[in-house]
Amino acid sequence: MNSSEKKRIAVIGAGNVAWHLAPALAAAGHTVTAIYSRSPASREALARLLPAAQPIYSLDLLEMAVEVVLIAVPDAALAGVAAALKVAPGTVVAHTSGSQPLALLQPIQGAHIGVLYPLQTFSKSKPVDFAGVPLLVEAQDAETLRQLEMLAQSISSKAYRVPSEARRQLHLAAVFACNFTNHLLGISEQLLQEANLPKELLQPLIAETIEKASRQDPFSVQTGPAVRGDDNVLQAHLQMLQPYPRYQAIYRQLSQSIQAQASGEANQFNLKDGSPV
C-alpha cells in the first residue's frame, strides 16, 4: 500500500471490536487520530494503545480532518450515533455490525457510507491475529467500496464484498454455529463437572466433530442416539436431565430436529454410527 492509501481514521466506540480493530489499523500504517466513547476509562485505555489518538468525550468534538470514521458500537446504539454524527462532506463512514443494514447510516449528511464487518468474536483480554479474520465490506457507491476494500485488505488477507441481505443471513448462521454452540459446550461442561470428570476428556471429540463438519456436509455425518433412532438412550438421557428442565427441552428439540432432518432427506439418510452385526 502506498502512502496515499494510508488513511486518517476516527473510531467511535471502545468496546471489544474497536479494541482490536483500531490497533490493527495503526499497525498497518494508518493513523487513528481519535477514539470516541462515553466511557472515560474505555476511551482512555484504547487511546493509550495508539500512538496518535486522542480520547474524545463528545461526538461534536470529533476531529474533522479524517478520511474515514469507523463506528464500532453496540447495534442498539448505532441509530443514535448516526443521528448525532456530523462529518466533513466526502468522509467515508462505515459501521462494523454484522446484523445492521448499510442504510442505517443514511442520516449522516454528506458521508460516503459503508460497512466493514470483522467476522470474529473478540474479547479485550485475548489477542486476535487480524490477518486471518474475514472482513466483509459493503458500500453505497463503487468508490467507497474500493476504499473500504483497500482498508480491509491492509489488515486482513480475507476481504469479501457482501451486501446487507447476505450479511444479515451470515450473522444468523453465525448465531447457530457459534453463540448456540458455545451454550451447548457450557451445558456439556456443567454435566462433566457434576460427574467430577475433567473437561479435557471431551476435547478430542469436540475437535474431531468440528473438523469433520468443516470438510463434509454436517447433516450427512450426523452421529448419536437421535439419528440412530436409539429410543432407549434418548429416554435414559431425558430421564437424567430431569433436574434441568431447560436442558431437557433443548435435548428434546434438537433430537427431534436431527430425526426430522434425517428422515426428510431419505435419499441422503444413512445409518452412520455402527453397522449391523
Site for its own copies in 218-237 (CB under 8 A): 218-219, 221-228, 230, 232-233, 236-237
Q: Least distance from C-beta 87 to its own copies, angstroms? A: 17
3-state helix, strand, coil in the chain (%, to 5): 50, 15, 35
**Taking CB under 8 A as the criterion, which residues in 31-50 touch its own copies?**
36-39, 42
Rounded to 5°, the CA angle 173-177-180 comes to 110
C-alpha to C-alpha distance for 17 and 30, rounded to whole angstroms: 17
Q: Which member of 16, 54, 140, 164 binds its own copies (CB under 8 A)?
A: 16
What backbone torsions phi and psi does residue 188 show, to the nearest 5 degrees? -60, -45
Q: What's the min distance (Å) between Cβ of 122 and its own copies?
A: 8
Cell triple for residue 177?
A: 454455529
Among residue numbers 140 through 169, which ones bind its own copies (CB under 8 A)?
158, 160, 162, 165-166, 168-169
Phi, psi dihedral angles at 85 (to 5 degrees): -75, 130
Q: Give yes or no for residue 268 binding its own copies (CB under 8 A).
A: no
Do 155 and 28 meet the contact criterion of CB atoms below 8 Å apart?
yes
Cβ partners under 8 Å of residue 271, min gap 6: 228
Instruction: Based on the shown chain and the rule CB under 8 A, indicate whether residue 95 belongs to the binding site for its own copies.
Output: no
State in angstroms the smallest separation of the CB of 211 from its own copies.
9
User: What binding mask, one character per residue, do residues 61-90 give for its own copies by CB under 8 A, x or -?
Assistant: ------------xxxxx---x---------
Which of the stretches 26-34, 86-94, 108-116, 250-258 binds its own copies when contact is defined by CB under 8 A? 250-258
Between residues 106 and 220, which has the closer beta carbon with respect to its own copies? Answer: 220
Shortest distance, CB of residue 82 to its own copies, whole angstroms? 12
Q: Please pick, from the candidates 90, 260, 263, 268, the single residue that binds its own copies as defined by CB under 8 A.
A: 260
Residue 97: other Cβ atoms inside 10 A:
21
Contact flag: residue 197 with its own copies (CB under 8 A): yes
Stretch that binds its own copies, among 24-32, 137-145, 147-155, 185-193 (CB under 8 A): 185-193
Q: What is the CA radius of gyration of the chain?
A: 23
Name which of 226, 252, 229 is nearest 239 in CA terms.
252
Distances in Å between the Cα of 72 and the Cα atoms of 12, 37, 96, 150 are 6, 10, 5, 19
- Asked if 132 touches its own copies (CB under 8 A), the answer is yes
Instruction: Determine, following the binding rule CB under 8 A, whether residue 21 of this chain makes contact with its own copies.
Output: no
Which residue lies nearer to its own copies by CB, 29 or 249? 249
3-state SS assignment for residue 102: helix
Residue 273 interacting with its own copies (CB under 8 A): yes
Task: Give bridge partners of residue 137 from the DSSP assignment.
Answer: 116, 161
Residue 37 CB, shortest distance to its own copies, in Å, is 5
